[in-house]
Amino acid sequence: MAIEICVKAATGAPDELGDCPFCQRVTLTLEEKKVPYKTHLINLDSKPKWFLEVNPDGKVPLIKFDDTWVPDSDVIVGLIEDKFPEPSLVTPPELASVGSKIFPKFVGFLKSKDVNDGTEQALLDELNALEEHLKNNGPYVNGEKITVVDLSLAPKLYRRFEFGPFPETLLYVFLTYDDMTMMMLMQSLFSRESFEKTKPAKEEYVIAGWAPKVNNA
């Protein structure tokens, strides 16, 4: 029996795949391991009764293993690796946190209302740290072998650099890297069959999900 997984439906389009990077991280892992699965698209604005019955917190992703529903992308990815060890996507422990602060720094930057509060520089610092690591160890975080840390980074980088918006300083950083190492990583990740199959179907839903909020007076 195929594994069942609950992921976010697109905003305003409940029959389309939504824009949750944590959900895509899980489906990417399943695709890379060639594990068959059945997808349930969950409208987070109108959650089905059955979904709330098995998952009172109402969060996605949610996966069903052996008649047990399991939440949390970190836990899910670990379980997938345990149950389907080949091909291995294990990241060496010393590399497991590489790039892990980029996403929260993005969120902090996008929520910031003060251009001088340091959030932009904090984000740039994290991006530069990842770039430096890739220059010395790439093309992937663990060299030639793709691992779960790359699959975690891919959806987050895609949503920020494919669809923006982002400050001109970030664009400048990417355009002036000596060898465009991180751009090469993103191109490699985004062109994988697993990524094409699991990314949101329509880019306008990604934009709707990540565009800065407008405060109406």
Active site residues: 20
HEC letters along the chain: CCEEEEEEEECCEEEEECCCHHHHHHHHHHHHCCCCEEEEEECCCCCCHHHHHHCCCCCCCEEEECCEEEECHHHHHHHHHHHCCCCCCCCCHHHCCCCCCHHHHHHHHHHCCCCCCCHHHHHHHHHHHHHHHHHHHCCECEECECCHHHHHHHHHHHHHHCCCCCCHHHHHHHHCCCCCHHHHHHHHHHCCHHHHHHCCCCHHHHHHHHCCCCCCC
